[in-house]
Amino acid sequence: MRKSPYILSTSTTTKIMGDVLIALVPAFVASVVIFGYRSVLLTLVCVVSCVVSESLYCLALRLGQSITDLSAVVTGVLLAFSLPVGFPLWMAAVGSVFSVVVVKMLFGGIGENVANPAVTGRIFLFLSFGKEITNWANTSRLINSSATPLAEGESDIFKLLLGFRAGCIGETCIIAILIGGIYLVARKVITFTTPISTLAGAAAVSLICGRNPVFDLLTGSLMLAAFFMVTDYSTSPVSKKGKVIFGLGVGAISVLIREFGTYPEGVSFAILLMNILSPLIDKMTFRMPFGGVKNV
């Protein structure tokens, strides 16, 4: 017999993930405009590999199919968005399988994974195929320079906002990302807490290090990450306070890696590091329930 409550909201996991996908559409369109049709291909390969591998995993382990929640699709899109347009497709497929099977499903599937699948998948590809993932050559007819602004160090803000620069396909067009981000906030999928904390953390460290904060915020994958990766439910703290700490940490570490690290870009590593700290942050920010007294 069913127990109370007997009415439930209409919100479902699938709808939430669907909203995330809708929010990614502007960035997708921008990537096609900027980098050409190969970005469609790259995205498609990642999405299909993610969905198929999750489905096969569930089949093999006789678990219920979970692909209908659309989270595998989101992982695929986000992974593709963190790759350069010329990235070999088979490598992208390998990365996708790694993201879904190793990072997500082996930990128990959605909600149980410690690390963000797309982010960790990208790190895996970076460590395995370092040359290909930093190869910005021939990225677009619209861009003449082949180095990313982060590696190059100069560019003008207008160009950065529109995304006409070398980089991973989904990360360059700041305007498109912001449109998607605002949509997510309007749909109450996320709040501004996390993205703003992330950007604030990055800007603060950038200032302290004597860098150009505007430039730091608009380049690399920081903006895409702030709205779509740092906000990942499974791998970030639940409380507002926790989200602030988490975001500040990601932003700060990202810029620290840019300043002191040997890699030009550190957002993925920053997220992974904070993912690992997330349960700890959750513990630290535990709120005492209403009327609760400390156990003695």
Binding site for another protein (CB under 8 A): 1-9, 11-13, 15-16, 66, 69, 71, 108-112, 233-234, 238-239, 286-293, 295
d(CA 198, CA 204): 10
Between 208 and 283, name the residue whose CB sits nearer to another protein. Answer: 283
CB of 295 to another protein, least distance (A): 6
User: How far is Cα 265 from Cα 286, in angstroms, rounded to an integer?
Assistant: 33
Q: Is 134 left (phi over 0), alpha (psi -120 to 50) or beta?
A: alpha
| Residue that has been written with the tokens 């003449």 in this structure | 144
- Alpha-carbon distance of 202 to 243, in angstroms, equals 15
CA 18 to chain centre: 16
Cβ nearer to another protein, comparing 263 with 283: 283
Toward another protein, which CB reaches closer, 140 or 194?
A: 194
Tokens of 263: 């890699």
Shortest distance, position 165 Cβ to another protein, whole Å: 34
Q: Is the peptide bond before 195 cis (omega within 30 degrees of 0)?
A: no
- Distance between CA 83 and CA 130 in Å, rounded? 11
> Which SS3 state, helix, strand or coil, does residue 84 take?
strand
**φ and ψ at residue 265, rounded to 5 degrees:** -125, 135
Smaller CB distance to another protein: residue 90 or 240?
240
In the complex, the smallest distance separating the C-beta of residue 51 from another protein, rounded to whole angstroms, is 17
Contacts 24+ apart (CB under 8 A), 140-147: 140/34, 140/35, 140/36, 140/85, 140/164, 140/166, 141/36, 142/34, 143/34
Q: Cβ of residue 253: shortest distance to another protein, in angstroms? A: 22
Residue (109 or 220) nearer to another protein, CB: 109
Residue (144 or 295) nearer to another protein, CB: 295
CB of 118 to another protein, least distance (A): 15
Tell the smallest beta-carbon distance from residue 112 to another protein (Å): 7
Alpha-carbon distance of 293 to 156, in angstroms, equals 56
Nearer to another protein, 210 or 289 (CB): 289
In whole angstroms, the minimum distance from the beta carbon of 289 to another protein comes to: 4
